[in-house]
Structure 1
């Protein structure tokens, strides 16, 4: 009797669907008993990494080898593995997922190292701190001598740029955690958890001000938000964990007010210590940089590509200055970082709690150098 191939294919497909349903029923029971929970991130990751065209060809190829005779990449689909990962958030190939809900702080290691800079591994990842509001509101005296000493070393004589944005501000610099400061710039403060200040001369807002000057020297107009995030959060009765919710409104307003904006840079300060966040190049001390990209937004790939290109450019001119590029999902950190609002957005960690102002300025000089080269290259190529 001749085999009915369409009917056989129908049986195979329905059998596969039935198998998936059975697997989900079994896993649903496990999740109920073991208190495991399904997350949209795990579902999204599985769907994103699954090629539906390959799945389609796999089923048809099982009946007619013609469809896959030259497709060595078509392999058996591990339906049980995919179903288990979606339902439990556990990846059989990644041991970290077995412990993240059981060990406090272990979710920190969910950060993905996209490009590892010098010395970067799971033990030296950037640390995001969220101090309580009473710590943020406390006034701290600044180390004026550090600022005075740096001012005397500044050289403001720079040649005029060969090309400019003609008064247009094309870069928006802002600070979700505007309170993040540096111990050397605060008088009599030694606890790294208290390296916070609302004084824009000694926190990351001041770093943004310096970047504005550097970019202007390269012909690139930019705008730096000087909003005190601590006060705005306190005014709303929010804590530091709501900082990205507030900064999102700041970015959206900036984009609405200025159609010329092409790049978004959110400047932060890492909580890691000096041995991780500092380096010496040609007898000059630098605060090291880290690029952070949010995985949970539709612009993830474009923003990741931007961060990688800036890292590579830094490696060529200032080897070892960049600690690399990392990405985070919602299980550790915000996961979006307002980067869904622009395909050219980055979060830049500038130094750590122990870096002094000269190291910070040297780092920003280097970043502005490579960023401006990238900007004009893209601009002249009509990439935006």
Structure 2
């Protein structure tokens, strides 16, 4: 049985010519609205116990509206939401805190609204205060809090008792780096204990680190539901898409999904990795010098060409990226028919594992300005440890050590 099931969910905001028509609609009378705007329509998905789902999409795609309907704070116009478990949600900063009440008083109030008894809250109030780490402010009015302090208390309350489903909107983005790390540690701990996670974020790293599935909303509908890396690559392509750009998706021989987008005015001909002797390689020893070669083709006269690459780990997390704009190596006034080639030399100071390379052709400092082509999974290579001391992690940073007694 699914822990959460959403079937044909939709939300419309309607305007009626008069209040009588609106009231008549409540009683089932056949009245037509003068205006109707659908924020969400035909949303279908289900979540199994222990899954971690990321909801992504551009502003206005309907993400927050969807979460509000799932938590019951907003009624759908059509469709159903079936929940088989207790939900803890952080949708908006403050969670309805009263600015005149202290943090402690608001904890009792908010936790009570979540269905906890006074005895249950009393048992965890000390843990909530300790987790929030706002010191004496816990007993001061919330109106004296910064947005980050409100977030600390809100998150501490929502996660004081482990829920079956934890829903987190963009609210965590207002917290400081320390508390974000602390919050994500608690989220991972809950995941290990079986909590289902539903998170909305524009942060690719958070989605790919926490989630095993992602859902992409666009104009109020689900346009992609799949592995986080595939969905985030497609989302990135949509953001970069221009009037004359296209987005294509194809499945590679190993089953992975490759996303390609751009205007096509310049295209990527080949991407390869070479060792110090110039030989093409797929396996690279830790710390060895390599050259990333990117061959391009100019298909139309363009004012500028910037070439960038991004190395990602097996989960799609960015490891390192740069481009010729930042490296002060730009070509300008290129003509159709030219075939520039770029060679990036660096040492493979990476941890053991599999990595992929994404390549972008564009103008200015990022591909969001004018994207000629973006290609994910342009190539894959593996780092192996042949001669270095054993270590763990994504980076090889060998230290010198001194032992003192």
Superposed pair shares fold, TM > 0.5? no
Normalising by structure 2, report the TM-score.
Answer: 0.23
| Higher helix proportion (structure 1 or 2) | 1
| Higher strand proportion (structure 1 or 2) | 2
Q: Which gives a bigger RCO, structure 1 or 2 (Cα 8 Å, sep 6+)?
A: 1
Normalising by structure 1, report the TM-score.
Answer: 0.24
